């Protein structure tokens, strides 16, 4: 199989009954994802550290 991104050779990875392909060259992974953000704006690192240290 050939990588659709860089045309390198793909490797098949499997765990139990689930398998997928990935490219060791460009790190392409044939995993469906949804790139539409949901919810609020992402938290800034500064806010995340403040929240962490306040707890």
Listed by start position, the domains of the chain span 1-31
**Which whole number is the average pLDDT over 32-46?**
75
3-state DSSP assignment of residue 33:
coil
Instruction: Tell me what percent of the residues of the chain surpass a pLDDT of 70.
Output: 89
pLDDT higher than 70, residue 30:
yes
Whole-number pLDDT of residue 28: 86
Task: Please count the helices (runs of H) and the strands (runs of E) in the chain.
Answer: 1, 2
Residue 13 bridge partners (DSSP): 20
Whole-model pTM: value is: 0.47
Query: Which two three-digit tokens encode residue 16?
Result: 């139990």
């Amino acid at each position: 199989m050939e990588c659709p991104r860089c045309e390198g050779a793909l490797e098949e990875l499997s765990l139990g009954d689930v398998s997928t392909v990935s490219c060791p060259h460009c790190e392409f992974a044939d995993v469906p994802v949804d790139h539409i953000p949901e919810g609020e704006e992402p938290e800034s690192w500064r806010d995340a550290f403040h929240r962490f240290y306040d707890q």
